[in-house]
A and B are shown apart, each in its own frame.
Chain A
Amino acid sequence: MKRFFLLLLLGCSAAFPLFFQDYWLYVAIIALYYAILSSSWAMLAGQVGIISFAHAAFAAVGAYTSALLSIKLGWPVALGIPAGAFMAALFGLGIGALTLRMRGPYLALTTLAFSEIFRIFLTAEYELTRGSYGLQVPLVWEGNKIISYYLGLSLLVLTLLSLSLLLKTRLGLFLLAMREDEDGAASRGVNTVRYRLYAFIVTSAFAGLAGGFYAHVVGLVSPRMTMISEMGLILAMSVFGGLETLIGAALGAIILQFLTEYLRDFEQWRLAIFGGLVLFTLRFTPEGILPRSYELVHQMLERVARK
């Protein structure tokens, strides 16, 4: 049932460019960016229990790295994007090593502070980043939308596959155990700080990957990428789709991004609506709206099948 559902989903998304071009294809490309961000953030928040507010900043690290490499050094996109992911992983290593011993609220505060400092840096270092105007970045394949779309889709599939495979390894088991009982895991030999750091580095790398992709499909990177409201959007998408499922969070991102476009006329109300939605979700179905509805549909189908 679940496998069938996933294949159907993959088929639909692979066929998407056959039916939609230009505008909606562009919307889908942006949705893929958010899907990579949300699923990796959901892995961090839902599986590891780290609420980091620096995820959007890591995306910006990837985006600016790739952008600067291609502008200043003429690197090709195919190298720039992985370099962006690598740089984000390095940032993840540094910040993670400093903060991961802290308890929840302190970690959230520190990552938020880092994110703000980074935004101020991007705005202030005009010579390097052109400040709030942002950098013009060469597009992937001269801005061919179909190619960009499939690139994004493969990056998303790569993200989801690697993260779910990772959860099936030793590391995944340790993370689950730490989530259940931190002291319990530590006193059974699990080096909690190290494994949390691994998870933090890996998810940061995927945020950087998403950022590099974003830079080369949109053609502009600016400090807006690190705004707190961007982080709010990622949070909203992940919580809506379900923090404890990677695919749920990715779907949540795609649904909310398309919803955003339908709500274009209510542009101003967008984040208020999403915020309200997330508050509702957190309060009443903390496991996320998508998993909950999936469950309900599943139960209904079973009941029908029994009759």
Chain B
Amino acid sequence: MGVTPARGPGAHEEVLDPISPNFITTRLDFLANWARSNSLWPMPFGTACCAIEFMATAAARFDIARFGMERMSFSPRQADVLICAGRLPFKLAPVIRRIWDQMPQPKWAISMGACASSGGIFDTYTMVQGIDTIIPVDVYVPGCPPRPEGLLYGIMLLQKKIRGESLADPTLRQEQLVGPDGLFRRPEAINEVSEPFGNSISQTRSG
């Protein structure tokens, strides 16, 4: 256990930080991260064509068993990483939020494909413009749909991210902060990331 001086004026006594980086915790981090990153159990949330590529990734040729992910967890309660493969309509928004809430910590999320990451070509009344307006996302995999190599690269990035985690980071396992109106992000931020861009600016005729 490390000892850190309290900040702020008038702080004389030293406050014991429950966990701070030292030899034991970093070794413990290394062990936990090694184990976690090599046995990620995915919760497949496949809604569209990305799920086909995801299935190909899980099958023999690309074989995510090589990364310790062969055990698909179709119950969120036994899953480590949520893979949202495909577009997410507003009707599914409360469903993915509930699934995410059911997953135990530590948990991570991969947003697979253009639609899950940004709404993709579906800049319409039905579509969530990026699942990061609903749940926190660790890795975005671009593509429409991404090739299995792309998803594998995303998985390897996530493993790298997990290997860099530390028990000493107090914000690491903070539950998602949902405001009083049930939103995961500030309303202005959601509106800002949902602004039409590129070709979709000229799509709306009637308003």
- Indicate whether A and B interact: no
| B interface residues with partner A (beta carbon < 8 Å) | none
Residues of chain A whose beta carbon lies under 8 Å from any beta carbon of chain B = none
